[in-house]
Amino acid sequence: MASTFQRRLIDALGTDVARIEPADLAAYGYDAYKEDGNASAAIVPRDVREVATAVRIARECDEPVIPRGAGTGLCGGAVPVKGGLVISFARMNRLLALDVRNRRARVQPGLINLELSSAIARYGVFYAPDPSSQKISTIGGNVGTNAGGPHCLSYGTTTNHVLGLQYVDAAGRIHTTALDDVGYDVTGLLVGSEGTLGLITEIEVRLMRLPEAVRVYVAAFADVESASEAVSAIIGAGIVPVALEIMDKLITQAVEAHYHAGFPADAGAVLLVETAGPLDDMDDAERIIAGIAREHGALSWRAARDAAERAALWAARKGAAGAIGRIAPNYYIQDACVPRTKLPAVMKAVEGIARHYQLPVGNVFHAGDGNLHPLMIFDRREPRQVQAVIDAGNEILQTCIDMGGTISGEHGIGYEKRKTLSLVFSVADLAAMARVRDVFDPMRALNPDKIFPTGAVCGEVKASTAA
């Protein structure tokens, strides 16, 4: 029997927008990290007014609200862990306005990342943030997690490309905010807030002009460590290509088996380099970068012939997690970030940790940013393996922290790392964030139990750290 809350949603929005059947709700209970969420109801709104209406009803019925993009998040961010109303932005997926001369576009949150750049390429512009999930993840979700991607090395992450937002607050009121507004940077606070400060219903994004020339290179190395050393050396020499990505042997073989993109499948590690800019600089850039790669043990160096081959290499790189999914029973992707000179050391440490826990580990990561993604393969039916993955993951995070790094470079904190956050921030640091939360969501009705542990007042944070 429908609850009052469910009935009110149906009455206000109709059965096309509001979903209450258990079979329907199952579709809103998972993301790419966690699958056991339990929504009390879900809506698939067509416009911001429907979002506002639903939020008001949820508030009156004391139900939390959980915004959802495509559910590709890797930390449980979109999962309703405490019941409540899931708001899926799947239908609010339009490109609303394109202004090529001023290099901006206004989009709805449900627009798939790649669809934006595909739609505007013929005008000579593109949207830079390109998470590997860009074929399926939404720009709203990307804003929620401040998503990164291979090309963020030189272009910056999502937050550097958001110029303004429309959002619905915890009370169901609609607001707009823009970087050009006077006053505190509300826009900057909302980006990366993982749905805990507001529901983003429109995004004004910055566009960039497509570069005149693009080159992609593939270098083979004996192992991840030497490839990492090459990356540290390239950055250390003051060279910032557009992308610097590493895949180890396990990943490369899985990727090649599926995509046949032309990566050297027998190499211990592969370095994928992209340079872009004026044509005049391309040869010099190749000479310098290839030189550094060779000095650090590159066994081969090859340029992609044309746009088609470049696209194939990138499609394969971005499909790496999917390719692993085809050969492994289960896998778990960790996300952490270290200062870039620490990359070789951290990769060595990761290898040691994986060996200690007897877990096969693959590495596919945004090396130029020092952003690692060890991917551990396990079988979830084996409790001991599950525990090993958790322990190894924590050990990797602690190692990164000890090296001056942090516990998430791009996937966010979500549900997964909410108790780990206190490893990098003091009680006072977290209390400052709580002040912001108090402004936007004093009742903790927006995406509760994400980023911060429940009731994260100072004392409790301390207690959970000590425990």
Partner 1 sequence: MIVSTPYALGNRAPARVEEPADAPRLAGTLAAAAESGSAVVIFGGSTLQSIGNAPQRYDVAISLRKLDRVLQYDPRELTIGLQAGITLEGVARALAQARQFIPFDAPLPRRATVGGTLAAGWAGPRRAAYGHLRDLLIGSTVALTDGSLVNAGGMVVKNVTGYDMSRLYVGSLGTLGAIVRANFKTLPRPPRQRLAIAPLADEIRERTLTALETLAIEPAAALVVDGFFERVPRLRDEDARLLVLFEGSGAVIDRATRELRSALGKCGIAETLLFDETAAADVLQNTIDAYIEPLEDRSVTYRSTGLPQTVWQRALAVCGIASDCDARFDFIADIRTGDAIVRVAGTSGARTAALLGELDAGVRAAVPGLTVLAGDPALRAQIDAWGTPPSTMETLRAIKTRFDPTASLAPGRYVGGL
Ligand X SMILES: Cc1cc2nc3c(=O)[nH]c(=O)nc-3n(C[C@H](O)[C@H](O)[C@H](O)COP(=O)(O)OP(=O)(O)OC[C@H]3O[C@@H](n4cnc5c(N)ncnc54)[C@H](O)[C@@H]3O)c2cc1C
Instruction: Identify residues 405-434 at the interface with ligand X (CB under 6 A).
Output: 410-411, 414
Contact positions with ligand X (CB under 6 A) in 74-113:
74, 77-78, 89, 109
> In whole angstroms, what is the distance from residue 200 CA to residue 190 CA?
8
The CA-based dihedral angle spanning residues 336, 86, 429, 410, taken in that order and rounded to the nearest 10 degrees: 20
User: For ligand X, which stretch binds (CB under 6 A), given 145-153, 294-302, 417-425, 435-443?
Assistant: 145-153
Which residue among 83, 188, 262, 291 contacts partner 1 (CB under 8 A)?
188
Smaller CB separation from ligand X, 225 or 416: 416
By CB under 8 A, what part of segment 38-97 binds partner 1? none
**Integer Rg of the chain from CA:** 22
Which residue in 387, 335, 337 sits closest to 358, CA to CA? 387
* 148 lies in the binding site for ligand X (CB under 6 A): yes
What string marks each residue from 203 to 242 as x (binds ligand X by CB under 6 A) or -?
----------------------------------------
Token pair listed for 308: 């088609």
Helices (H), 260-319: 282-295, 307-318
Q: Among residues 337, 375, 388, 392, which is the contact residue for partner 1, using CB under 8 A?
A: 337
Q: Tell me the CA distances in angstroms from 435 to 224, 237, 432, one per residue in order.
A: 42, 41, 5
Residue whose CB is less far from partner 1, 111 or 170: 170
Nearer to partner 1, 16 or 284 (CB): 284
The reply on whether position 398 binds partner 1 by CB under 8 A is no
Among 297, 393, 409, 448, binds partner 1 (CB under 8 A): 409
CA distance 250 to 268: 8
Tell whether residue 432 is a contact of partner 1 (CB under 8 A): yes
What is the spatial distance between Cα 393 and Cα 387, in angstroms, rounded to a whole number?
10
By the rule CB under 8 A, 157 interacts with partner 1: yes
What would the x/- binding string for ligand X be over residues 173 to 202, using CB under 6 A?
---------------------xx---xx--
- Is residue 138 at the binding interface for ligand X, with CB under 6 A as the rule? yes
Question: Kind and range of the H or E element at 202?
Answer: strand 199-206
Q: Which does 138 bind (CB under 5 to 8 A by kind): ligand X, partner 1, none?
A: ligand X
Looking up tokens 């390239």, which residue turns up? 234
For position 347 contacting ligand X by CB under 6 A, the verdict is no
Burial group, residue 438, by CB count within 10 angstroms (0-12, 13-18, 19+): exposed
Q: Quick check: 402 binds partner 1 (CB under 8 A)?
A: no
Q: Which is nearer to partner 1, 53 or 166 (CB)?
A: 166
Residue from the set 369, 416, 441, 449 that interacts with partner 1 by CB under 8 A:
369
Nearer to ligand X, 30 or 123 (CB): 30
Question: Distance between CA atoms of 460 and 57, rounded to whole angstroms?
Answer: 31
Distance from C-alpha of 227 to C-alpha of 355, rounded to nearest angstrom: 20
Establish if 382 lies at the interface with partner 1 (CB under 8 A): no
Task: Find, among 383, 394, 405, 319, the residue nearest to 356 by Cα.
Answer: 394
Instruction: Count residues binding ligand X (CB under 6 A).
Output: 39
Q: Tell whether residue 71 is a contact of ligand X (CB under 6 A).
A: yes
Quote the least distance from Cβ 290 to ligand X, whole Å: 25
Q: Does 243 bind partner 1 (CB under 8 A)?
A: no
Q: Is 295 in the site for partner 1 (CB under 8 A)?
A: no
Q: Is 42 helix (H, G, I), strand (E, B) or coil?
A: strand
Q: Work out whether 131 is an interface residue with ligand X (CB under 6 A).
A: yes
Size of the site for partner 1 (CB under 8 A): 78
Is 451 a residue that touches partner 1 (CB under 8 A)? yes
Is the Cα torsion angle 424, 426, 427, 430 positive or negative in sign? negative
Tokens 């911060």 locate to: 452
DSSP 300: E
> Whose structure tokens read 């470079």?
409
Apex 296 CA angle, 311 and 352, nearest 5: 90
Question: Minimum CB separation from ligand X for residue 193, in Å?
Answer: 7
- Residue type at 310? R
